[in-house]
Structure 1
């Protein structure tokens, strides 16, 4: 028998791509895709022998996932259903349930099963937060100055806590947690990608944060290495930052996209984010406001030394590939009209005296 790999979150672009990629791996006999709905767009499979693929419709919040593990004899679990949004969730509360409760159910099923030997969990560098007191570069052992108060970052921090507890209870299972920087690429479907798709980019007045990206191709390759290399005598276990080398300022991103920016006072930026969510233009979360104010950069030494892998795309190259896939007219005219009219009404109130000044802001010492 070859490897049996279970992949959660296959309804999303990254999950679908990884499921197709792992089918081409020698030694993999079966790939089981799990989600509440099948992939909307399955990538074209490359020529060559492919492992068998089964889609198992299942809600991770339900105990049925234990039956899936037992039915297919799963030995490797790749948990990608931890995301800021979910196609099967109508609101933030449902997304949190899928992220946290879904992970707890999956870990409980793995703990009770004798089959799994490898667990890979997708996380995010958002667990470090984004504040004015942050260090210039985060390492895997760096503790955030302020714990995430809500949103996807808090979900990911809770998920990582449950995974650490699982690792202590099942030391026989190799566990890897991959903290991805913002994933970009021609097909990446993320809230930050929605933000960059706006025809005009609202920014925090007085700030120009440093940003890091990882290309979707590199994300898939790192997942592949984490899922399979333990079976070849290596020990790719632990927590790893995953990002392309280098950084980009938000202003550089806007110029490369050809997008104008509208600097807005920090409190007003929260109103704009709420408006964007109400009109479903973009999932502009509070944690994203923090990122677009203070930025975030992580160290990837552990990834290179442990995995022996250097991301093929640097941060500027990954963003350039994303920018090349963008086109004009990304928003329906009626939605854009609603957004601009309401934004004009909100910002037409009393004038503020001036921008807030922060000696630790990116424009103060990192520009």
Structure 2
């Protein structure tokens, strides 16, 4: 049973939710919350420790406190939150390496809990309907958070071979949405006009921020679970999400999606990568049997309910957005054939 917990990423939104939720568990004697900047939100009874997991000092903190459970939540999803892709990769990959090296040397560590992502499965036209935990991606993530998470999971597997006495729980979450969280996907759906891949209507799963917190707490305080997919029940499609938001859509040929994404990224409104564009075109499905049978989690929000909670906090982009959205979407639909003919001529 966890007594002294060290968590990373407390200054991020989900880290704050987790720290407050874990603080309510009387069986936890002490919580050390590590990050490079002070958290802008309450963290319950967790003790904030200003430290960088890329620095070997993290090992001294673990040893001196007698930490028995390490919870790694500091794999960063969006480069704009860290100042660029190079910094994001350094924090995600180098930071994880240093943290695991510290855990390997600390005899007190008995459990490691890692927040991972279903993004490690990638997105392609060759994917199965759903991925189980023992499946490999058909097309490996090539950029960004997905690629970093593949490397992080590789380091965790290496750590488990070197320290077979340490229990490992690694949760692969579907895209997280909710009333307060900001991610690349929520930024995308917050755009005044939503660019969608022409000819595609991807289906995917989501998970609510509150269910993420509950899953992480269960992995911390309950039995070890190994690798578990976590998502809300059911699926939504890209066009269903746009309809729920009452946002106009702009069909974009897949060949031009990268250029459009680059322009949007330059404005700072949303972050786009090649893997995110593939996700918007092909979607992703994950099997959640182990979530129920091993982790013992029944999500409080379905995929649709989670998205509707996110949608409820968005303000209308402009007055009369419903009417404008209907008009723009209708006009865009009428240009699909013309755009397709143009790109057919370019390719021929």
Q: Provide the C-alpha distance between the structure 1 equivalents of 2:255 and 2:163, rounded to a whole number of angstroms.
A: 46
TM-score (norm 2): 0.89
Give the Cα separation in 2 of the matches to 1:204 and 1:88. Answer: 26
Q: Name which of 125, 129, 144 aligns with 2:137.
A: 144
Q: Give the conservation status (yes or no) of the 8 Å contact 2:225–2:295.
A: no
Asked if structure 2 preserves the Cα contact closer than 8 Å seen for 1:214 and 1:315, the reply is yes
CA contact under 8 A between 2:79 and 2:85: conserved in structure 1? no
How much does 1:273 deviate? 0.8
Cα shift at 1:167: 0.7
With normalisation by structure 1, the TM-score equals: 0.85
Question: In 2 relative to 1, CA 355–19 (structure 1 residues): closer, same or farther, beyond 3 Å?
Answer: farther
1:96 partnered with 2:89: yes
Contact 1:36 1:88 survives alignment (8 Å): no
Instruction: Identify the residue that residue 37 of structure 2 maps to in structure 1.
Output: 37
Are residue 132 (structure 1) and residue 128 (structure 2) matched?
A: no
Task: Note closer, same or farther for the CA distance 1:40–1:328 as it changes in structure 2 (3 Å cut).
Answer: farther
**2:46 corresponds to which of 34, 50, 53:** 53
Does 1:191 find its partner at 2:179? Answer: no
3-state SS of 2:34 partner: strand
1:241 aligns with 2:234: no
**What is aligned with 1:299?**
287
Runs of 4+ in 1 over 6 A off after TM superposition: none
Q: Aligned residue for 1:18?
A: 18
Which residues of structure 2 form unaligned runs of 5+? Answer: 319-337
Alignment of 1:227-266 (within 5 A): 227-230=220-223, 236-266=224-254
CA contact (8 A) 1:201 1:260 kept: yes
Contact 1:11–1:87 at 8 Å: present in 2 too?
no
2: CA distance between counterparts of 1:161 and 1:113? 20
Q: 1:310 aligns with which of 274, 292, 298?
A: 298
SS at match of 1:31: strand
Match of 2:99 in 1: 106
Partner Cα separation in structure 1 for residue 55 and residue 182 of structure 2: 26
1:37 and 1:88 in contact (8 A); partners too:
no
Instruction: Give 1:70 deviation, angstroms.
Output: 1.7
The whole-number CA distance in structure 1 between the counterparts of 2:317 and 2:240 is 21
Q: Give 2:335's aligned residue.
A: none
**How far apart, in 2, do the equivalents of 1:246 and 1:83 lie?**
26
Residues in 2 aligned to 1:64 and 1:272: alpha-carbon distance in whole angstroms = 43
Q: 1:116-127, aligned counterparts within 5 Å?
A: 116-127=109-120
Return the structure number with greater helix share. Answer: 2
Instruction: Give, in angstroms, the shift of residue 354 of structure 1.
Output: 5.5
Aligned counterpart in structure 2 of residue 85 of structure 1, from 33, 58, 78: 78
Number of equivalences: 326
Q: 1:115 to 1:171 in 2, by over 3 A?
A: same
| 1:127-150 residue CA offsets vs partner (Å, 9 max, x unmatched) | 111001111111111111111222
CA RMSD of aligned residues (A): 2.0
Q: Within the alignment, does 1:220 sit opposite 2:213 as a pair?
A: yes
Residue 237 of structure 1: CA displacement?
A: 2.6
- Matched position secondary structure for 2:17: helix
C-alpha separation in 1, matches of 2:339 and 2:309: 40
For 1:282, what is the secondary structure of its paired residue?
Answer: coil
Question: Hey, what's the Cα distance between the residues in 2 that align with 1:317 and 1:351?
Answer: 34
SS of residue in 2 equivalent to 1:353: helix
Which of 123, 132, 146 pairs up with 1:153?
A: 146
- Partners of 1:126 and 1:223 lie apart in 2 by 18
Mapped partners of 1:226, 1:21: distance in 2: 13
Q: Deviations over 1:204-232 (max 9, x none)?
A: 000000011000010000000000113xx
